[in-house]
Structure 1
């Protein structure tokens, strides 16, 4: 058994925003570090911890956690569409083990994933089917949210299962950090938005998806210019989270309250649940060390953008 972790922010704006030259250079350096890390580690299988943005999971039935026995990328924001190479036997074994540890989760034989799940695979490998991958969904945009302590426990259960595999496993945690993009909220949604949040009316049309994506692109441009009416980034909160995760002692995070996370770091800051679960999984297998850490608040991406790699000691 061997276990390693790569945690990184994602942004649908990576291919749509005009970044300052120094920011672009920094990001490219961070991505090269990540590619070198996974190239040297060369995992047999990937467990991909990711959120969704009302593309595969809706309020008709919103689980806190879900493991996919099969999955397909929808290809939003120009991300790669198509089937993921999901090893069903391992996915099934993981789900059964996690449930046996007292963590309730859903399973899907036809999981639909979006850029939040596939962007790291594209950055690292250039192909979402380059490696066998087990997709694990964590609800990070649709209140009410499960307590953060349960997220840590989910991660520990995942790590317990992976510790028993005779394989080299890479955990990918995709999301965060602080950010507040213009994602519709159920409590303030228009009737049309409410139907979309419930996944009603059939598959979203290409025109409607393009309009939705353009709103985010426009908001990012305005945010970078200082004219967007969305919550600011929270670099201090981001750095404190990264410090706690790197320490190996995740217990301080148990006390974090969802409403406080939203107030401090934005409605979509809950995507850090993937990082928490990823580090908890790694920690369940033994002590670990962060090998590389990058962070920068990037307004053009509406994100406190972080990337870390970690290995077991």
Structure 2
């Protein structure tokens, strides 16, 4: 799957741009630049003195977005968003006017069956956002003990059948390794005994992806790093896609506001309209929260 074959529709784009309050001469960080949908919109609002720094763990996304957006006002870096501070320091940038996080797996990763994010794929269980790291979903499924697998399913996906799925995984891998996404998906399907509103393997795959990529730890570190580099009046905008992410963002903003460091911009999260969900079904669970440095 080539990047140019994937159609990327940025989620909550109008609401995000309004919340970022983009200034023509400002410096902005898209900490999850992906295929550059939000970045392109921010860039269109910047003047000749404005700057945009895009960060992504996926080197394929960086490569594509560099071709798509490449100009002297855009700086793209392959890295995790917990490294925001180090990346900006290397560029001699001390403060920025806004930081955007668009969390979760990107469309490029989902559509590329070889990356192992899709439960309908016969691809190897991979799920790495950064393909240079060692830990894969295969390692988790085939090497972790039953208690750890159950814990991951409970903590990272609130999976109601966590214990039964963990037992089924252990029983299956005793016979032969669980190598592909389809094999794991079939195991979970048997535990559920059929399909519901969402695919039974959805939560399991979410939990594995979070474990492999240390997503929640990265988010906590990334939010703290963003706060450190925001100038007074700078905006933090975060789009999350499941309750675990949203809870971390909500609590971080609330605690920062209590400490007198930030002003909450969204008492309740902004969600997608029915029209946006119709046009882009994957946006249905998106929640946007924001705060301003004071």
TM-score by length of 2: 0.36
Instruction: Choose 1 or 2 for highest CA Rg.
Output: 2
Q: Which has the higher strand share?
A: 1
Q: Which one scores higher on RCO, CA 8 angstroms, separation ≥ 6?
A: 1
TM-score by length of 1: 0.34
